[in-house]
Structure 1
Amino acid sequence: MATRVLKILLGLLLAIVLVGTAWLCTAGKPLLFVASGSVSQGLCDAVFVSRVDPGRVFREQHAPLMRGIGWAIRWRVDRAHDEVHASVLGGFGARAVFRPGLGCLLMHGDGPVPEAAGFAPAFVASPFPDRPVASDDPAIRQALDRAFAEPDPAHPRNTKAIVVLHDGRLIAERYAPGYGPDTPIWAHSLTKSLTSALIGILVREGRLRLEQPAPVAGWRSPGNPHHAITIDQLLRMDSGLPFDETDDALNPFARMAFLERDMAGYAAQMPPAHAPGTVWGYSNLGYVLLGRMVTDATGGNAVNAERFARRELFAPLGMAHTVMQADADGTLIGSSGSYGTARDFARFGQLYLDDGMVDGKRILPEGWVAYSHSQTLDTGYGAGFWLNVKNDTRVPVWDAPWGMPQLPKDMYYARGAFGQYVVIVPSERLVVVRMGISLDYGDDTGDLVAAVIAALHHQPRS
């Protein structure tokens, strides 16, 4: 009897091993490469771009997302070669390499690193003081206290930075331990708003037109199903490309970001889901293609594109620590590949509050700011920014609110995953930036901004 039971157990164990092996060699293989790729990329950025503790970033950002396989992930920082390596179950290895001025690059294979030398960026002066500015208003300090508090340990906020500008002045800021005014933080989809601004600069210079068919090499033939897609539709996410950031672990965005060397090439081949201009769908694919347009218009490689961004946008604003990363094909990752400090992004928000002007110089085309927060179809999205005009419906697929109903209707904002926000309130002459690693982030930023507005209304107007 015991022998029979043992045989049955051994048979079941063998079946499990065979099924597991088959899964690892087929459907599971890309998932595990996504896991190792995301860890190596994220921790390379933590070590060499943000210069924060990679172990803490892994615990806060990666381990909770890996769920059942976190125990199987191993990572190693190679400071001698400016690399981070990661693996799952001892295999499925990935490495990310730091390139000066360009941030980290996720490598596919062991080949040479493109543009490995990077470049030495020109110094950008910050308009802010060296030390953090604390508010002298108890109500504003209390609002920041609440934003940094952790009322639910099971769902940590992990707020890292908050910056408040009023009338263009820095009136309050706060940082988590290990972070400060000079700490670049992963901006996630705040990058889309930067990309929109860079497209605007190229429009101002006459190198692109919003209504023109998108200059994507594979789309030029009139018979191509993408041929009619315009730059405007890519900015507005009504190009017809599919909603690409879903709960599926291998959604098009994850595959593009962690498995593809040429991200724009992958995006260009994605079949349209709808006719252009008819349906809104969140589109990392479209913003990677916009990043390719910026790259093509400024020299065709990562170094020239990054220099253009610094010269035309970051330097005039005093965004001293911002970097937009590129893929292995040299394309600016216009969807999600930027790092910057909360102060940097506050200056970016102020550019929009000031109608695209800095110190009397026009950065964005006249009318571009109004265009950026004009409504797309019947949604709460503009052209690179979210709006506060829709409270009757929710974002499709995500079932999330479009805006922040507790704030004025004229508010619009840039938003990125894990709780990155640049909130612009023209009627209050206010910009609030909140950045963190918040995997279960709710409506806290709306409450923060509402509290700041309430505090300002209790102060005498200057």
Structure 2
Amino acid sequence: MPSMPALLGLLALLSLAGCAGSGPYQALQVASGLSSQLVCIDTLQSGLPLARSLQQRVLSPGAMHLVGPVLDVQVDVAQRRVRSSLAGLLVSQATLRDGMGCLLQWPGDPAPHTPGLPPLADGQLPDLPSIAGPAVVAPATPALRQALARGFDEGGARPPALNTLAVVVLQHGRVLGEQYAPGVGPATPLLGFSMSKSLTHALAGMLVQQGRLQPDAALPFKAWQTPGDARASITLAQLMRQTSGLALRQDNSGTDPNSRMLFIEHDKAGWALQQPLHKPPGQAWAYTDGHFVLAGRLLRDAAGDSPQALRDLAQRALLGPLGMQGTTLTLDATGTPQAASMFVAPARDWARLGQLYLNDGLAGGRRLLPAGWAHRAATPTLDTGYGEGWWTNARGGERMAAWDLPWGLASAPRDAFFARGFMGQYTVVVPSRGVVIVRMGISSLRGDAIEAVNQLVGEVLAALPE
């Protein structure tokens, strides 16, 4: 039961907000919806304790701690459901569905496109050679053991801020060492946040390889086909390079358009399609999840315009051949992949994705992605350190002015490129060393813990043979 001052404060804020859609009211809606979806993933998919999910995942970022006194989150394991509310108001719900991940819903939302997907057919053997056996792989050398241990070392911080969950190190396609937090292991699916964008790039490459998509062709969205609509020239490559020019501002304040799209809107891609241009396509870089929400709709449509068609195709042509058996492509209520931030996979599956890019799209001699697709991912966009769905290391530790954070990893070679997700999710590919490093956690350190991860990557590379 919330305290009376906290309850009165929330009611006053709702009163000031006046109506749904205004800034403070939207921020409170986002807080409820975010809580439901993230706790659903953490507790029902990853098996993490509710207290850990609330304290580290939900209440630590930004101003979320302000709603702590009035936030109520209930987990119903039997019904596979999480409900969140703020002082009994703004009730949201997330439900874990078979093969589709956690679906966030609000009262009055239309019924979902489908309640779940049938189990995948058994028997598909991976083309990518096994990266490890089922047991945790002990670090191959004392130096690597020390490097991994330091990746979990909080340095006495209380409360802990690094909160590393998993580190996996591959070299030449085999795990040389890995370490996990208590309760986490090689098969534990973990939220990738924006590493989902890099997996989306692979899914797009799969469809390009099959001739179903052209990355540099104008997008066929009907909403943009009115004569004179400049959005009709936007390409898939511009979405994945974050240069569409669409007005999809993201600052993660809860009041921004991107937050509304992710945690309030029923049809996320449909909402993004309605947004106007802010700048001409291709001329400016602006990071936003909205680009990959739209890419997710394009993938669904190209695969057969149904969630099952996309899931089955992805399994046959990408996930299955890689051995990514623990990966869930989370879908929204319309059956569209939440391709910007909500894909869930074990650390080893993220490592398998990195190995595919290290191999330029080949798995066991079979081409899953077009030749040069990894080069596209690692080629910088305009004057940034961002590539196509992946971050590049072309600018190393040089700091970006807008965020006052490093573009890349100063401790890694310049040929490295990496998937990067909120709260410290990283899949680092180092072609010159034949290395893939995955780090996952629930970090409250600024900038997705990039400076701590930079240190980890440097120490791991120093511990590996050339």
**Rounded Cα–Cα distance in structure 1 between residues aligned with 2:394 and 2:212:** 32
1:114 paired residue number: 113
Is 1:225 the counterpart of 2:247? The answer is no
2:457 paired residue number: 449
Is 1:30 the counterpart of 2:26? The answer is yes
- The answer (yes or no) to whether the contact 1:306–1:323 under 8 Å persists in 2 is no
Relative distance call for 1:429 and 1:116 in structure 2 (3 A) is same
2:42 paired residue number: 46
**Rounded Cα–Cα distance in structure 2 between residues aligned with 1:84 and 1:17:** 22
**Rounded Cα–Cα distance in structure 2 between residues aligned with 1:161 and 1:388:** 23
2:78 paired residue number: 80
Q: Of 377, 383, 386, which residue of structure 1 is paired with 2:388? A: 383
Relative distance call for 1:121 and 1:46 in structure 2 (3 A) is farther
Relative distance call for 1:407 and 1:117 in structure 2 (3 A) is closer
Is 1:427 the counterpart of 2:432? The answer is yes
**Rounded Cα–Cα distance in structure 2 between residues aligned with 1:429 and 1:18:** 56
Q: Report deviation, 1:419.
A: 0.3
2:140 paired residue number: 136
1:95 partner letter: Q
Name the stretch that deviates more: 147-156 or 231-240: 147-156
1:205 paired residue number: 210
SS at match of 2:162: coil
- The answer (yes or no) to whether the contact 2:248–2:258 under 8 Å persists in 1 is no
Is 1:317 the counterpart of 2:316? The answer is no
1:306 paired residue number: 311
Relative distance call for 1:90 and 1:278 in structure 2 (3 A) is same
Q: Report deviation, 1:144.
A: 0.6
2:162 partner letter: R
Relative distance call for 1:122 and 1:250 in structure 2 (3 A) is farther
1:10 paired residue number: none
Name the stretch that deviates more: 41-50 or 195-204: 41-50
1:327 paired residue number: 332
SS at match of 2:233: coil
Q: Report deviation, 1:391.
A: 4.8
1:355 paired residue number: 360
- The answer (yes or no) to whether the contact 1:242–1:281 under 8 Å persists in 2 is no
The normalised TM-score by structure 2 is 0.91
Q: Report deviation, 1:243.
A: 6.2
Counterparts in 2 of 1:393-412, with a 5 A limit? 394-395=399-400, 397-412=402-417
Counterparts in 2 of 1:274-293, with a 5 A limit? 274-293=279-298
Greater radius of gyration (CA): 1
Name the stretch that deviates more: 345-354 or 48-57: 48-57
1:454 partner letter: A
1:60 paired residue number: 56
CA-based RMSD? 2.0
**Rounded Cα–Cα distance in structure 2 between residues aligned with 1:354 and 1:36:** 42
- The answer (yes or no) to whether the contact 2:398–2:406 under 8 Å persists in 1 is yes
- The answer (yes or no) to whether the contact 2:43–2:53 under 8 Å persists in 1 is no
1:39 partner letter: S
Q: Of 162, 171, 177, which residue of structure 2 is paired with 1:172? A: 177
SS at match of 2:439: strand
Percent identity between the two aligned chains: 39
Relative distance call for 1:166 and 1:297 in structure 2 (3 A) is same
Q: Report deviation, 1:393.
A: 5.3
- The answer (yes or no) to whether the contact 1:236–1:384 under 8 Å persists in 2 is yes
1:248 paired residue number: 253
List per-residue Cα deviations over 1:215-268 (Å, max 9, x = no partner): 222112341131111111111111112463215322122110001011111111
1:91 paired residue number: 89
**Rounded Cα–Cα distance in structure 2 between residues aligned with 1:399 and 1:271:** 28
**Rounded Cα–Cα distance in structure 1 between residues aligned with 2:60 and 2:138:** 33
Relative distance call for 1:17 and 1:308 in structure 2 (3 A) is closer
Name the stretch that deviates more: 388-397 or 132-141: 388-397
1:4 paired residue number: none
- The answer (yes or no) to whether the contact 1:424–1:432 under 8 Å persists in 2 is yes
- The answer (yes or no) to whether the contact 2:395–2:408 under 8 Å persists in 1 is yes
SS at match of 1:227: helix
List per-residue Cα deviations over 1:346-398 (Å, max 9, x = no partner): 01000011111001100001111111111211110111110111258534532
1:436 paired residue number: 441
List per-residue Cα deviations over 1:12-31 (Å, max 9, x = no partner): xxx98985452254343322
Is 1:188 the counterpart of 2:193? The answer is yes
**Rounded Cα–Cα distance in structure 2 between residues aligned with 1:16 and 1:77:** 26
2:377 partner letter: S
Name the stretch that deviates more: 291-300 or 156-165: 291-300
2:154 partner letter: E
Name the stretch that deviates more: 417-426 or 296-305: 296-305
**Rounded Cα–Cα distance in structure 2 between residues aligned with 1:349 and 1:314:** 13
SS at match of 1:226: helix
1:299 partner letter: G
Relative distance call for 1:380 and 1:290 in structure 2 (3 A) is same
Name the stretch that deviates more: 47-56 or 137-146: 47-56
2:5 paired residue number: none
For this pair of structures, how many residues does the alignment match? 444
List per-residue Cα deviations over 1:104-142 (Å, max 9, x = no partner): 100122554431133213346683311100113111010
Name stretches of at least 5 consecutive residues in structure 1 with no aligned partner.
Answer: 1-14
**Rounded Cα–Cα distance in structure 2 between residues aligned with 1:158 and 1:437:** 5
Q: Report deviation, 1:451.
A: 1.2
**Rounded Cα–Cα distance in structure 2 between residues aligned with 1:17 and 1:95:** 20
- The answer (yes or no) to whether the contact 1:295–1:305 under 8 Å persists in 2 is yes
